[in-house]
Chains A and B, each alone.
Chain A
Amino acid sequence: MPSETVLPDRTDSGTPAETPLRLVGIHKSFGGVVAIKNFDLDVKAGEIVALVGDNGAGKSTLIKIISGLYQPTEGEIWLNGQEANFRDASDARAKGVEVVYQDLALVVDQPVYMNMFLGRELTTGPLKILDRKRMATETQQLVDALDVRIPSAKATLSDLSGGQRQGVAICRATHWASSLVLLDEPTAALGVAETAKVEELILKLKARGAAILIVSHNMDQVFRIADRVSVLRRGTQVATRSLADTTHNELVAMITGLAS
């Protein structure tokens, strides 16, 4: 089944500025194993696109490609109309791409504010001394603005619940993302209430105009928060649909490859 995404005109000097993410013909193989073939997708500002598929379909691989951890074997990544070539994760971060990982890319023995600024710590003075005070204040403001309930910005991460930690990770992405946020199964490890809280946060991100690509195994979640959905099956992009134009059953059929 062909993808419904319109291929960009390659002679075009750039894509419209309102397209924070455009993937063109992304292909990735690990040695002989093909993880992704010919993947195309646009994610617009203020839009949530869900990426679904069975285990091993290639979802995390795609997220890692967009975030610079892997390089695509073939294909192009366009950010806000500019072609991007990431050598590593810090390249992508410098371009305003933020990721929230399934397995929480946080350091548990450090305070919340250090996690918020991990790898980008604020310093002060000619001696470049860590500005713990300013990091804590800014973290507290952000956490308050997004209504993430944690005891304090100075609390050690290991003292927080899984939902609170994921809240911190999303706050971090919000703080640093200039246009694009990638979420790889952000609620996989969370209970019902905490999942609701995280979904609320994601919708706040959308309201702020971020382009959001979220990987999820939870179809109800996809229907609750996403605008469009793209389905991967064993590395092949099966379809990209507006959620208004599809049903739960159709989605499951596309994921599994079995007719419903």
Chain B
Amino acid sequence: MSTTTQTEPSLLARASNVKWSNYVVYIGFVLVFVFFAITQTQYFLNPTNLTNIVIQAAPITIMAIGMVFVLSTGEIDLSIGSTVALSALTAAVVLQSTDVWWIAAAAGLAVGAIVGLVNGIFITWVRLPSFLVTLATMGLVAGLARQLTDLQSVPVTDKAFVWIFGGGNLLGLPIMVWWTIAAVLVGWHLLRQRRYGAHVLAVGNSAAASRVSGIKVNRVRLMVFVGSAMTAAVAGLLYAGRLQGARYTLGETDLMTVIAAAIVGGTSLFGGKGTVIGALIGSLLMSMINNGLILSGLNVSQQMIVRGAIILIAVSFSLRGKKNS
């Protein structure tokens, strides 16, 4: 074994070397949980309520996992919120005319694939910054969603669709929990166990180093945007199934929550570092805060204020540590 010529660092030195910022999300999660458990004991700890937290979080969790890949390459995707609405509305409209759940779902997913490809192509081929491209497609897609049904909501009544993307129950667990588990497993596998994930992180760290190492940088970038838009499309289907209808406002306010969940979870806003499990915990944390604030009887505007403040605190904790390390 080759070791450093210096002596091993003492236990104390090693303890202070631990990157606490990596654990901020878990500590925060426990603190918030304990806080609401004490202040709202009666309702908060109710198993139905706890399951609800996971169910409510499902679309955010899935999109946050897509966002982890985008942020890990050092890019950002602002268009996910609008993609949610367009995917949900497209699926609902197709469902109305075909009455076949999987054709509707495929149509919704196709919307995601197209938006992702458009983002990816403008970012890799035209070489525009992802911030600008996705800002533009955010508006463009939102416009399409409004245009599609002329601002009208579309009901979703198909039983199979509503079961699969909303209220279903499988082996005693709500279908939303299964969606969450599936997304986490797929995301974790791709990021941690595949060469693709290693390349995503490498590109975010140094695109130049990746290029000279033979990594197809542009293909990796394109793929993360397709993946991110696809997670938004899935989230759109889940909203349509759970709310049994689609509306152009779906996903409107999700962008901030998704980015916050990913960053609080330990994914770097500057690329190179990403964690799928962290995004899950981050998303559950956001959902828990939401839930607790409602139980505390705050009105919608007060909730927004408190949530914004909490996100600010949480994000500054995780980002400060990152820069120092």
B1 sits at the interface (CB 8 A): yes
Q: A144 vs B4: C-alpha distance in the bound complex, in angstroms?
A: 12
A99 touches B212 (CB 8 A): yes
Contacts of B201 in A (CB 8 A): 107, 109-110
The listed residue with most A CB atoms (<10 A of its CB), out of B5, B208, B209, is B209
Residue A249 at the chain B interface, CB threshold 8 Å: no
Judging by beta carbons under 8 Å apart, are A150 and B272 in contact? Answer: no
Known contacts: A107-B205, A109-B201, A129-B194. The answer to whether A147 contacts B212 by CB under 8 A is no
Q: Would A105 and B212 be within 8 Å (CB), given that A129-B194, A147-B2, A149-B2 are in contact? A: yes
Q: Is B303 an interface residue (CB 8 A)?
A: no
Chain A residues whose C-beta falls within 8 Å of the C-beta of B273 in the assembled complex: 109
Q: Are B193 and A151 in contact (CB under 8 A)?
A: no
By a CB distance below 8 angstroms, the chain A residues around B197 are 130
* Cβ of B223 under 8 Å from chain A: no
Determine if A110 and B214 form an interchain contact, defined as CB atoms under 8 angstroms apart: no
Confirm or deny: B213 has a beta carbon within 8 angstroms of a beta carbon on chain A.
yes
The closest CB in chain A to the CB of B272 belongs to A109
Could you say which residues of chain A place their CB within 8 Å of the CB of B212? 67, 69, 89, 99, 101, 105
A128 cross-chain contacts in B, Cβ below 8 A: 194-195
Of the stretches A50-58, A74-82, A118-126, A228-236, the one at the interface is A118-126
Q: Which residue of A lies closest to B17 (CB)?
A: A159
Beta-carbon contacts of B191-222 to A below 8 Å, as 1s and 0s? 01111011101100110111111110000000
Smallest Cβ distance from B187 to chain A, in angstroms? Answer: 15
The reply to whether A105 and B206 contact each other, CB–CB distance below 8 Å, is yes
* Pairwise interchain contact A89-B211, C-beta atoms closer than 8 A: yes
Q: Are A119 and B210 in contact (CB under 8 A)?
A: yes
> For the complex, what is the distance from the CA of A216 to the CA of B76, rounded to whole Å?
39
Give Cα distance in the complex from A121 to B205, angstroms: 17
* Closest A residue to B2 using CB positions: A144
Q: Mark B208-243, 1 if CB is under 8 A from A, else 0.
A: 111111110000000000000000000000000000
Set of chain A residues within 8 Å of B5, measured between Cβ atoms: 149
- Contact of B202 with A107 in the complex, beta carbons under 8 Å: yes
Count of chain B residues with a beta carbon within 8 Å of a chain A beta carbon: 28
Fill in one digit per residue for B1-42: 1 if any A CB lies within 8 Å of its CB, else 0.
Answer: 111110000000000000000000000000000000000000
Q: Given the complex, which residues of A lie within 8 Å of B214, measured CB to CB?
A: 88-90, 93, 119-120
Q: Name the B residues within 8 Å of A118 (CB-CB).
A: 198, 202, 209-210, 213, 215
Instruction: Decide: A107 and B272 in contact? CB cutoff 8 A.
Output: yes
| B198, B202, B210, B211: the one within 8 Å of A130 (CB) | B198
Within 8 A of B (CB), among A34-48: none
Contacts of B272 in A (CB 8 A): 107-109
Asked if A243 is at the interface of the complex by the 8 Å CB criterion, the answer is no
Contact with A along B81-121 (1 / 0, CB 8 A): 00000000000000000000000000000000000000000
Q: Is the Cβ of A119 less than 8 Å from the Cβ of B2?
A: no
A67–B198 alpha-carbon span in the complex (Å)? 23
* B256-310 at interface with A (beta carbon < 8 Å): 268, 272-273
Contact of B215 among A119, A143, A148 (CB under 8 A): A119
Q: What does the 1/0 interface line of A56-73 toward B look like (CB < 8 Å)?
A: 000000000001010000
Contact of B3 among A105, A110, A149 (CB under 8 A): A149
Contacts of B3 in A (CB 8 A): 149, 151-152
Q: Which of B2, B3, B194, B202 has the most CB of A within 10 A?
A: B2
How far is A90 from B211 in the complex, measured between Cα atoms in Å? 9
**What 1/0 flags go to A90-116 for Cβ under 8 Å of B?**
100100000101011111111000100
Least Cβ distance of B10 to chain A in Å? 15
Query: Nearest A residue to B9 by beta-carbon distance?
Result: A151
Closest residue on chain A to residue B199 by CB atoms: A119
- Minimum C-beta distance from A102 to chain B (A): 12
CB distance from B46 to the nearest CB of A (A): 40
CB of B198 within 8 A of CB of A114, answer: yes
Q: CA of A144 to CA of B198 in the docked complex: distance in angstroms? A: 25
Q: Is the CB of A105 within 8 A of B213?
A: yes
CB distance from A128 to the nearest CB of B (A): 7
Residues in A with CB closer than 8 Å to B205 are: 107-110
Chain B residues with CB under 8 Å of chain A are 1-5, 192-195, 197-199, 201-202, 205-206, 208-215, 268, 272-273, 325
3 A-B pairs with the lowest CB-CB distances in the bound complex, closest first: A90-B214, A119-B213, A107-B205
18 A–B pairs (Cβ distance < 8 Å), ordered by A: A88-B214, A101-B212, A106-B206, A107-B206, A107-B210, A109-B201, A109-B205, A109-B272, A110-B198, A110-B205, A118-B213, A119-B210, A119-B214, A129-B194, A130-B195, A148-B2, A151-B4, A152-B3
